Homo-oligomer: A and B are copies of this chain.
């Protein structure tokens, strides 16, 4: 039985507790938060779980095997480092850390300590993303040609990270999961409407050496909420609208191919518009799969889907994006 402590009982904490409580092979031992009212809340809902305001208490407790860190990103590195040094397995909320350097130190340390270091990119465990992965891997979609993500709403302005660090990890982790190609470079632009110069609107293009392209539109300042992802292949295209309660993905049997007319020196493009298909997708809670993957990784030494490399590749793009925005959109080679 893996004994777990969870640090941070804010917006996401209750979901983590609920799912780990229901996961086989583990027990939620302690929840840490520095706010008394959050600890009271835990006690009301989960009377058997211990509570404390001290992170050291869980680091030092030898009964605790694994620690889930659900605190603001700027605290991830220090907490995870201490936990690893105290021989704990680690699950970090996304993004893994706020810099590649720090992420690499953690990864090295985890390897040295022979502990699991995992990051929670929950979307990778959704039925929708799993279904898209299968369709792409089976060749049904054909050669994947573009990835176009829009994730905008009237959102909480964060005070430590910009809108890309806040919203794009979801879609970047999906991109990297679906597309087996190393990005070549990125460009990003954005704007801040506050004095702290933290962008609340930003646009990111990820370039590849092939003719694949990915683009992300992120905003905390839109009056409408949009969560839409287009994945275009040369055989079929997928539209993932996460706001649809049940019909989340539509698969378009649509495509185009081109031939060169040698005589006229012209490109001829053939269009094909066919049926549309809305596959039924499992709506089991993604977080349950993530929790299970973490415990399996500990117990059976498997590599989790949302592993530290996945976490590292996401912030590699985010860090470059920030650098690009601050250099007026300069192309950053990855």
A residues with a Cβ closer than 8 A to B are: 44-47, 145-146, 148, 150, 152, 154, 156-157, 159, 185, 187, 189-196, 198, 201, 203, 205, 207, 211-213, 215, 217, 219, 221-224, 230, 232, 234, 237, 239, 243, 245, 247, 250, 252-254, 256, 258, 260, 266-267, 269, 271, 273-280, 328-331
- Residue among B185, B189, B205, B258 making CB contact with A213, cutoff 8 Å: B189
Residues of B within 8 Å of A45, CB to CB, are 45
The reply to whether A157 and B275 contact each other, CB–CB distance below 8 Å, is no
Besides the known contacts A145-B193, A207-B329, A277-B277, 19 further A-B residue pairs in the complex with CB atoms under 8 A apart: A146-B201, A148-B217, A150-B150, A154-B254, A159-B266, A187-B187, A187-B328, A189-B205, A192-B211, A193-B234, A193-B258, A195-B260, A217-B217, A223-B230, A223-B232, A247-B276, A275-B277, A276-B280, A328-B331
Q: How many copies does the complex hold?
A: 4
- Residue among B189, B198, B223, B280 making CB contact with A237, cutoff 8 Å: B223
The reply to whether A329 and B205 contact each other, CB–CB distance below 8 Å, is yes
A260 to B198, CA, bound (A): 13
Contacts A154-B254, A331-B330 hold; do A195 and B148 have CB atoms under 8 A apart?
no
A232 to B145, CA, bound (A): 31
- Residue among B223, B232, B245, B273 making CB contact with A221, cutoff 8 Å: B232
Residues of B within 8 Å of A150, CB to CB, are 150
The reply to whether A146 and B230 contact each other, CB–CB distance below 8 Å, is no
A212 to B201, CA, bound (A): 11
The reply to whether B254 and A223 contact each other, CB–CB distance below 8 Å, is yes
Q: Which of A193, A223, A269, A331 has the most CB of B within 10 A?
A: A223
Contacts A187-B189, A239-B224, A278-B277 hold; do A157 and B258 have CB atoms under 8 A apart?
yes
The reply to whether B217 and A222 contact each other, CB–CB distance below 8 Å, is no
Closest 3 A/B residue pairs (Cβ): A223-B252, A276-B278, A223-B237
Contacts A224-B239, A258-B157, A273-B280 hold; do A191 and B219 have CB atoms under 8 A apart?
no
**Of all chain B residues, which has the CB nearest A330?**
B331
The reply to whether B203 and A215 contact each other, CB–CB distance below 8 Å, is yes
The reply to whether A154 and B271 contact each other, CB–CB distance below 8 Å, is yes
Contacts A157-B269, A205-B203, A280-B273 hold; do A215 and B217 have CB atoms under 8 A apart?
yes
Residues of B within 8 Å of A247, CB to CB, are 276
Contacts A217-B217, A223-B232, A331-B329 hold; do A195 and B254 have CB atoms under 8 A apart?
no
Interchain nearest-CB distance for A292 vs B (Å):
21
A195 to B278, CA, bound (A): 33
A47 to B40, CA, bound (A): 13
A101 to B234, CA, bound (A): 38
